[in-house]
Amino acid sequence: MDRREVVYVVSDSVGETAEFVVKAVSTQFNGGHVDIRRNSFVQSEEDIDEIINMASENSSIIAYTIVIPSLKEYLDRQAALANIQAIDLLHPLMNAFEEKFHKEANHRSGLMRQLDDDYFRKVEAVEFAVKYDDGQDPRGMLIADVVLIGVSRTSKTPLSMYLAHKGYKVANVPLVPEVSPPDELFKIKKSKCFGLIITPDKLNAIRKERLKSLGLTSKASYASYERILEELDYAEKIMKRVGCPVINVSDKAVEETASVILDILKNERSYK
């Protein structure tokens, strides 16, 4: 390309995909000196007419990602009448998907943006769970979607991460007899707080394995029955004071416990 050319990027959504493809192609021609003009959220024939008029004034190409069939057909027709080359960046691949996988496309704009929003919401939730893990900052409970409380080794952290990947912001707080629970715990809605309990035998076995992995003796007070009973008794008193739902995690995988929590949250919302 000896001179700067114009490519109109047209989309019924944001148009990032089309612009990225055009930039990738333009780098193959004289270092990518192409004037790219993005036209986002094109929703009507009038929008297309305006783009066709602008493109007619230049030596232009139209590259588009329009999934709404009627708009695509109108753009193709008007571009042909104006002798403007219009390149469909989506439909050839969409057609291949339909033929190969025997599925029909939704033909709805903005779906990629929805996927992006879901992704970033999950990333934000994971970052939240890390920041407010193990009672690091009690203020997180006030803005969390879910708050988990329980003694050590009741799967609070793995459960927080699992729920975070579902898009929920989770804070968790350990309950220890020697440490008073934070004031924030009694200010949150009890419907978003969940107490995790476990049988003494199960907790004893888990804590012994934990000590072994750390190279410590299983006779440490952390795994003693007396200590475990003391902690569980204290935790149950706190849970009763909070008035939150209590889930026995003794024989549950993290996924099962998460399912119980999500069902409770769903039922809670349905009653509002």
Binding residues for ADP: 150-157
- 3-state DSSP assignment of residue 93: helix
Round to whole Å and give the CA distance between 266 and 109. Answer: 29
Distance of CA 6 to the CA centre of its chain: 37
* Backbone phi, psi, residue 176, to 5°: -130, 130
DSSP string, 125-169: HHHHHHHTGGGS-TTHHHH-SEEEEESTTSSHHHHHHHHHTTT--
DSSP 176: B
User: Using an 8 Å Cβ cutoff, are 228 and 236 in contact?
Assistant: no
User: What's the 3-state SS for 204-263?
Assistant: HHHHHHHHHHCCCCCCCHHHCHHHHHHHHHHHHHHHHHHCCCEEECCCCCHHHHHHHHHH
State the binding site.
150-157
